[in-house]
Amino acid sequence: MNEIIECIPNVSEGRNQDVINQIIENLKKTGVKVLDVSSDSDHNRTVITFVGDRSNVLEGAFSVAKSAVELIDLRHHKGTHPRMGAVDVIPFVPIKGITMEETVELSKTLAKRIGEELKVPVYLYAESATKEERKTLPNIRQGEFEGFFEKIKDPNWAPDFGPNEVHPTAGVVAVGAREFLIAYNIYLNTKDVNIAEKIAKSIRESSGGLRFIQAKGMYIEEKGMAQVSMNVLNYKKAPLYRVFEIVKMEAERYGVNVVESELVGLMPLKAALDSLAFYLRFPKLTSESIIEMKIYE
Which of 183, 184, 217, 224 lies closest to 202 in space, CA to CA? 217
Residues labelled catalytic? 81
Helix axes 100-113, 54-71, angle to 10 degrees: 40
**78 secondary structure, DSSP code:** -
Ramachandran category for residue 173: left, alpha or beta (phi over 0 → left; psi -120 to 50 → alpha) = beta
**267 secondary structure, DSSP code:** -
- What element of type H or E holds 122? strand 122-126
CA distance 66 to 187: 34
Using alpha carbons only, what angle is made at residue 171 by residues 168 and 177, rounded to the nearest 5 degrees?
155
Burial 92-108 (b: 16+ CB within 10 A, else e): bbbeeebeeebbbebbb
Q: What is the DSSP string of 46-66?
A: EEEEEEE-HHHHHHHHHHHHH
